[in-house]
Amino acid sequence: MALLDVCGAPRGQREDWAFPHAGSRQRSDPGHYSFSLRSPELALPLGMQPTEFFRSLGGNGERNIQIEMAHGTTTLAFKFQHGLIVAVDSRASAGNYIGTLTVNKVIEMNPYLLGTMSGCAADCQYWERLLAKECRLYYLRNGERISVSAASKLLSNMMCQYRGMGLSMGSMICGWDKKGPGLYYVDADGTRLSGNMFSTGSGCSHAYGVMDTGYRPDLSIEEACDLGRRAIVHATHRDSYSGGVVNMYHVKEDGWLKVESTDVSDLMYQYREASQ
């Protein structure tokens, strides 16, 4: 009760009638989410049962609305001798409709850390921005930049908390820290894997095909960029949910560098002409 707060409550426990929404005061609002550092908590709207909600929207529910979680995208990242290459497409689709061709699917968390996004755009953007905030706080508290493994661990812990509630996110956390180049794949199921090469999204199998054919750990920077470029372009060519431009980043010891943002159709024509 607002009036009670302003006037000041008398000492002792307040009567039960003073709390009509008994649960609401104890729930923390999402802006102060503490990631269970202090006590287990979940930021949920009142009365919300996410698993029930999603089941009700599926084919067997009373309503005949099917919400398909679109995973339309192709993103990839791989390590090589000169660091990391991160390449993503830029198409956002809503079912069969292309929403936009100019989405930025890489979030620049700090000059040394990148996160890619695939899956539900809103989930990716929200959680990775929250991760960027946590990384910044880590730097301010500890006087040194967060490691890639710690950043990816924070993100996967956030995902584990909401496991089974319908989050859809497949992300790669890429960066360079004291231990060298770091590449982690983090998933909305709470999966967290370290590796040398990952690709996510609906076009990932096409991208893997091209990358696996041309990958060597001792690629030069030019060759690595070309490999990433080709992988995205060929994936966008065959996967209808990917397209737009190739956004490519190169992560080095002194930070990341945005290499290019090239239209995939132009590149496809170039490759066609070159092979003829």
Partner 1 sequence: MASQYDRAITVFSPDGHLLQVEYAQEAVKKGSTVVGIRGADIVVLGVEKKSVAKLQDERIVRKICALDDHVCMAFAGLTADARVVINRARVECQSHKLTVEDPVTVEYITRFIATLKQKYTQSNGRRPFGISALIVGFDNDGIPRLYQTDPSGTYHAWKANAIGRSAKTVREFLEKNYTEDAIANDSEAIKLAIRALLEVVQSGGKNIELAIIGRKQPLKMFSAKEIELQVNETGKKKEEAKKKKSKKTA
Interaction site with partner 1 (CB under 8 A): 11-13, 142, 146-147, 149-150, 153-154, 157
What is the DSSP secondary structure assignment for residue 270, as one 8-state letter? H
Q: How many residues does the chain have?
A: 276
Nearest approach, Cβ of residue 228 and partner 1 (Å): 27
Residue of 181, 188, 178 whose CA lies nearest to 120: 188
Q: Which of 51, 73, 200, 262 is labelled catalytic?
A: 73
- The values of phi and psi at residue 129, to 5°, are -65, -40
Question: Is the CA virtual torsion 254, 201, 191, 125 positive or negative?
Answer: positive
Nearest approach, Cβ of residue 96 and partner 1 (Å): 42
Q: Are 108 and 159 in contact (CB under 8 A)?
A: no
Nearest approach, Cβ of residue 196 and partner 1 (Å): 18
Q: Rounded to whole angstroms, how far apart are CA atoms 57 and 61?
A: 6
Nearest approach, Cβ of residue 77 and partner 1 (Å): 19
Nearest approach, Cβ of residue 144 and partner 1 (Å): 9
Q: Are 155 and 148 in contact (CB under 8 A)?
A: no
E strand or H helix at 78 = strand 75-80
What is the DSSP secondary structure assignment for residue 13, as one 8-state letter? P
Residue 174 or 267: the one with the smaller Cβ distance to partner 1 is 174
Q: Are 184 and 148 in contact (CB under 8 A)?
A: yes
Q: Rounded to whole angstroms, how far apart are CA atoms 176 and 83?
A: 8
> Is there a catalytic annotation at residue 73?
yes
Catalytic machinery residues: 73
